[in-house]
A = this chain, B = another copy of it.
């Protein structure tokens, strides 16, 4: 590479020499001589240098997934989709871009992070920012009033990826939502059951699911004396309690947001409370809290929610936590967030943070309906990118290799001139549904064929030789034990299936 850089420098210098001669109107002879030198230099780095000047990179904040990452991704998706299907969910897909106006006014000040497409004539378009707004648009557009659906797809945010570790500008969201007018808290409880199932099955370590309700928060703010117009801004300060101490949160409320110290202290008492159904019952009796109709409605629903969660046997991980606020404006009822309580080995002392979150948003679909008809919705989003990176770290730390293919057998030979026989057997196995590889070489070495099996985790090798062909058998070798056994050609596919059924 040093060589190449030197040559490129030389080309630059020589280019200047030529340009200078031309502007100085030097003799044709002289110019030709220097141009010849320039062309010679250019030839050294491969002729048409123009086509070698690509910036070889992906766009900022995006990444390729290599086969290993894809294998992990596939496993995670399978676990999650299996859970969604167990709960009877359908799936839909929407385009990666929407009319710009569909996204306008849904994300508050985060709207500046939306990717717009260039105006090339026609409609103004933007890349989707999440899957919830397209879902609401889909429901309103198709006049769907009830559905249970999941949607796994990429979304786009022009965030500063360097600033927030592990955050990308293109990333997956993995959403499950239940839309429809139902009896209170039953779908809400199912969403929490789903989070419990997924986090358990993914084996990410211990976790907790915090639950709260927007109406309880708003009621609490009201009875603590927060002015109506400060609810949202105080709410977003409370939301920082998982990263900041109470002192800092209080200081922000009082000094930055102009709340009275008295009100802040009252909030401080409430947001330190955690519990279960008992806490909801206690707060319903609370002299101040019980003055708020909203809070009472939220607390009554919270009690109901916990009774369903008991039936679902998930109360061990769920905690009613008055400090949970969540940022998004569109939530109208229950909200929740799941966190891992163990630290990841690779990130000692740092909390991995939220791995799932969601809540009830009864007003969003109505924003799209021409008549403003509401469709109550509750949903959950799995923080799949965090799950991926934990799984990748685990795979990295473990001794076990991640397989990127599912190949069961490699058709090989130790002898020359058996390519045709190898291809014939390979096709036989493909036709029998066996995942089979064969080397694309006329006469590969046995060692390199075995090495490929070691490298990519192929468990079996079907070895062909003159003798085996004569006998109508194949030597089936188990890679890890090096055992070899002759298997009749007619029984080969069955034998391979039997030996790899646990893979």
A residues with CB within 8 A of B: 1, 4, 46, 51-52, 54-60, 62-67, 70-71, 73-74, 85-99, 101-102, 105, 115-120, 122-123, 125, 127, 137-138, 140-142, 147, 149, 154, 156, 158, 170, 178, 180, 182-183, 186-187, 189-190, 193, 197, 307-308, 311-313, 367-372, 404-407, 419-420, 423-424, 427, 430-431, 433-437, 440-442
Could you jot down 28 A-B contacts, CB within 8 Å? A4-B370, A52-B369, A54-B368, A55-B99, A56-B137, A58-B94, A59-B97, A59-B125, A62-B95, A64-B92, A64-B94, A64-B142, A65-B94, A70-B91, A74-B91, A85-B405, A86-B433, A88-B405, A89-B405, A96-B96, A96-B170, A116-B118, A117-B127, A118-B118, A178-B440, A182-B440, A186-B419, A312-B427
> Number of copies of this chain in the oligomer?
2
A187 / chain B contacts, CB cutoff of 8 Å: 440
| Pairwise interchain contact B405-A54, C-beta atoms closer than 8 A | no
A158 / chain B contacts, CB cutoff of 8 Å: 120
Q: What's the minimum C-beta distance from A87 to chain B, rounded to whole angstroms? A: 7
Q: What's the minimum C-beta distance from A12 to chain B, rounded to whole angstroms? A: 16
Interface centre among A73, A95, A433, A437 (most CB of B within 10 A): A95
Q: What's the minimum C-beta distance from A198 to chain B, rounded to whole angstroms? A: 12
Q: What's the minimum C-beta distance from A187 to chain B, rounded to whole angstroms? A: 5
| Pairwise interchain contact A435-B88, C-beta atoms closer than 8 A | yes
A367 / chain B contacts, CB cutoff of 8 Å: 51, 54
A442 to B308, CA, bound (A): 12
Q: What's the minimum C-beta distance from A54 to chain B, rounded to whole angstroms? A: 6
| Pairwise interchain contact A90-B67, C-beta atoms closer than 8 A | yes
Interface centre among A88, A170, A431 (most CB of B within 10 A): A88
A101 to B186, CA, bound (A): 52
| Pairwise interchain contact B308-A423, C-beta atoms closer than 8 A | yes
A63 / chain B contacts, CB cutoff of 8 Å: 95
A119 to B158, CA, bound (A): 12
A436 / chain B contacts, CB cutoff of 8 Å: 86-88
A62 to B95, CA, bound (A): 6
Nearest-neighbor residue (CB-CB) of A4 within chain B: B371
A433 / chain B contacts, CB cutoff of 8 Å: 86
8 Å CB contact of A98 from B59, B88, B427: B59
A46 / chain B contacts, CB cutoff of 8 Å: 371-372
Q: What's the minimum C-beta distance from A5 to chain B, rounded to whole angstroms? A: 10
A123 to B98, CA, bound (A): 22
Say yes or no: A407-B88 contact (C-beta < 8 A), given A4-B370, A70-B93, A99-B59: yes
Q: What's the minimum C-beta distance from A290 to chain B, rounded to whole angstroms? A: 26
Nearest-neighbor residue (CB-CB) of A178 within chain B: B440
| Pairwise interchain contact A95-B64, C-beta atoms closer than 8 A | yes
8 Å CB contact of A86 from B4, B118, B435: B435
| Pairwise interchain contact A427-B59, C-beta atoms closer than 8 A | no
Say yes or no: A116-B115 contact (C-beta < 8 A), given A57-B99, A70-B92, A96-B96: no
A424 to B66, CA, bound (A): 43
8 Å CB contact of A51 from B88, B92, B105, B434: B105
Say yes or no: A56-B312 contact (C-beta < 8 A), given A116-B120, A430-B87: no
| Pairwise interchain contact B96-A154, C-beta atoms closer than 8 A | yes
A180 / chain B contacts, CB cutoff of 8 Å: 440
A62 to B122, CA, bound (A): 14
A88 to B411, CA, bound (A): 12
With A86-B435, A186-B419 known, 10 other A-B pairs at CB within 8 A are A46-B372, A56-B141, A58-B95, A64-B141, A86-B433, A87-B437, A90-B405, A96-B170, A116-B117, A117-B117
A59 to B97, CA, bound (A): 7
Q: What's the minimum C-beta distance from A241 to chain B, rounded to whole angstroms? A: 32
A55 to B98, CA, bound (A): 11
Nearest-neighbor residue (CB-CB) of A181 within chain B: B440
| Pairwise interchain contact B123-A60, C-beta atoms closer than 8 A | yes
A56 to B144, CA, bound (A): 13
Say yes or no: A55-B370 contact (C-beta < 8 A), given A86-B436, A430-B197: no
A117 to B114, CA, bound (A): 11
A122 to B159, CA, bound (A): 12
| Pairwise interchain contact A92-B65, C-beta atoms closer than 8 A | yes
A102 to B51, CA, bound (A): 10
A406 to B91, CA, bound (A): 11
| Pairwise interchain contact B122-A60, C-beta atoms closer than 8 A | yes
| Pairwise interchain contact A183-B368, C-beta atoms closer than 8 A | no
Nearest-neighbor residue (CB-CB) of A3 within chain B: B371
8 Å CB contact of A64 from B70, B120, B138: B138
| Pairwise interchain contact B186-A95, C-beta atoms closer than 8 A | no
| Pairwise interchain contact A93-B64, C-beta atoms closer than 8 A | yes
